[in-house]
Structure 1
Amino acid sequence: MLIFFDTETTGVEAKDRICAVGIACETHLHEELIHPGKKMPPAASAVHQITSEMVAEAPEFSRSESCRILKAFNLPSNTLVSHNAPFDLSMLSKEGIEWQGDVIDTLKCAKALMDDLEGYSLQFLRYELRLYREEEAFFAAAGVSVAPHRPLSDALHVRMLYDYLLDLADHQKLVDISRSHILLSRLPFGKYAKKRIEEIALKDPGYLKWMLDSLHDMDEDLRYSIDYYLRND
């Protein structure tokens, strides 16, 4: 079974926790606020519009229906599908859930299969790939309102993106891409943003070496790609 999944969190640091969960699969459409055990930072609320007051009476993750559902679905035969899956999996790991089945990261798959786009966030892809043209009927059939950055809405957009990616690669290929490093062709930010990394490695390798040494939280696929082109220039 495919489990389309999204979390909203208090931030992206090691200290941060889940504050909402969305699950969409053939048997469940589930959304739940979660008490994160800490005050909601304004920067996080500005993204997902979830406040400390909204989660004040919500259950802790371990006592939540979301936890019960995910534990029941955590089987080798099930596949978790998420946009930026390593982040969502890291958040689940903090709550004691280590996913047992396959994982598809739609963010990584989109980067691997469409390497010439200007962005890869879920909402960017929603418009770039014109998923919005079908979303009204898709969401109406599910009985869910479109609400970007709310977890169930985002989980359903992940489902739409997964269906789009199936036109570019089959399910097993998406699993394989998600398991491995991908070789990115363009630098996503910095003074050479959108330029080919292979060309930068020839013209200004010092800049790429500086990135490797200085940006310790760099995306693992970007680090892999920079290192690859520096070694093969």
Structure 2
Amino acid sequence: MHLIIDVETTGLELSDRICSVGMITDDQVHHELIHPGKKIPPAASAIHHITNEMVKESPSFAQSLSAEKIEGLNAPENVLVSHNAPFELAMLQKEGIAWQGDIIDTLKCAKSLMDDLDGYSLQFLRYELRLYRDEEAFFERFGVPIVPHHALSDALHTQMVLDYLLDLADVERLIEISKSHVLLTRLPFGKYAKKRIEEIALKDPGYLKWMNESLMDMDEDLRYSIDYYLRRSL
């Protein structure tokens, strides 16, 4: 069984917590607001539009139906699917849930199987892959409105990305990709944005070394790719 999940949070720091959960299992959808145990800052509300007033009467994660559902599915034979799975897994870990099954990270798989795209965010893929052509009918099946950065809406778009990826590779291959590093070919941002990392490693290795030393929150696949091409340039 696949558990497709998306969470919204109070932020991206170590102290931040879940304030919303969206899930899909066996064509059943679930959404729940969660009291995070701390204030939701305006910067986070500006993204997902969840306010402190909205979660005032919501359960803590430990007391939520979401936690009960996830724990019930947390078994080696089940697969958790998420767009940027390390983030969801880290947030669940903070709540005491260590996922036991396999993982499909649709973000990592998209990078690996479609390495020539200009971006890989969920909303970018929504348009790049033309998911918008079918999304209205798909969302209507579940009675869910299309609202970017709403946990359930994002979970449904993750389902659509997964379905697209399954035309490129089978489940076992997606799981394998999700376990490994993806070797990126182009730098996604900075003064050399869209340039080949291999060429930058030859022409300006100091810039790549600076990125590795200075950007502590850099994507793990980008860090791996920079290290790889720097080693090859020696």
Q: Hey, what does 1:177 align to over in structure 2?
A: 177
Report the AA paired with residue 35 of structure 1: H
Please list the CA deviations of residues 198-218 of structure 1 after superposition, one character each: whole Å capped at 9, or x if unmatched.
Answer: 000011111111111111221
What is the CA-CA distance between 1:118 and the residue it aligns to?
1.3
Secondary structure, counterpart of 2:53 in structure 1: helix
Q: Hey, what does 2:192 align to over in structure 1?
A: 192
What is the CA-CA distance between 1:127 and the residue it aligns to?
0.8
What is the CA-CA distance between 1:27 and the residue it aligns to?
5.8
Quote the Cα distance in structure 2 between the aligned partners of 1:41 and 1:154: 21
Secondary structure, counterpart of 1:55 in structure 2: coil
CA RMSD across the alignment? 0.8
Report the AA paired with residue 172 of structure 1: E
What is the CA-CA distance between 1:152 and the residue it aligns to?
0.9
Q: Hey, what does 1:72 align to over in structure 2?
A: 72
Quote the Cα distance in structure 2 between the aligned partners of 1:195 and 1:110: 19
What is the CA-CA distance between 1:28 and the residue it aligns to?
2.9
TM-score by length of 2: 0.98
Q: Hey, what does 1:81 align to over in structure 2?
A: 81
1:4-15 correspondence runs (5 A): 4-15=4-15
Q: Hey, what does 1:53 align to over in structure 2?
A: 53
Quote the Cα distance in structure 1 between the aligned partners of 2:82 and 2:24: 11
Quote the Cα distance in structure 1 between the aligned partners of 2:79 and 2:55: 29
Quote the Cα distance in structure 1 between the aligned partners of 2:46 and 2:176: 35
Report the AA paired with residue 226 of structure 1: I
Report the AA paired with residue 92 of structure 1: L
Q: Hey, what does 2:158 align to over in structure 1?
A: 158
Quote the Cα distance in structure 1 between the aligned partners of 2:160 and 2:216: 33
Report the AA paired with residue 153 of structure 1: S
Secondary structure, counterpart of 1:53 in structure 2: coil
Q: Hey, what does 1:18 align to over in structure 2?
A: 18
Secondary structure, counterpart of 1:16 in structure 2: coil
Q: Hey, what does 1:107 align to over in structure 2?
A: 107
Quote the Cα distance in structure 1 between the aligned partners of 2:203 and 2:155: 42
Secondary structure, counterpart of 2:112 in structure 1: helix
What is the CA-CA distance between 1:32 and the residue it aligns to?
0.1
Ranges in structure 1 where 5+ consecutive residues have no aligned partner: none
Quote the Cα distance in structure 2 between the aligned partners of 1:171 and 1:198: 31
What is the CA-CA distance between 1:36 and the residue it aligns to?
0.4
Quote the Cα distance in structure 2 between the aligned partners of 1:214 and 1:26: 43
Report which stretch shifted further, 26-35 or 9-18. Answer: 26-35
Q: Hey, what does 1:31 align to over in structure 2?
A: 31
Quote the Cα distance in structure 1 between the aligned partners of 2:37 and 2:216: 28
Report the AA paired with residue 119 of structure 1: G
Quote the Cα distance in structure 1 between the aligned partners of 2:27 and 2:124: 28
Report the AA paired with residue 193 of structure 2: A
TM-score by length of 1: 0.98
Runs of 4+ in 1 over 3 A off after TM superposition: none
Quote the Cα distance in structure 2 between the aligned partners of 1:32 and 1:151: 9
Quote the Cα distance in structure 2 between the aligned partners of 1:93 and 1:28: 24
Quote the Cα distance in structure 2 between the aligned partners of 1:105 and 1:121: 12
> Are residue 43 (structure 1) and residue 43 (structure 2) matched?
yes
Quote the Cα distance in structure 1 between the aligned partners of 2:212 and 2:154: 32
Equivalences, count: 233
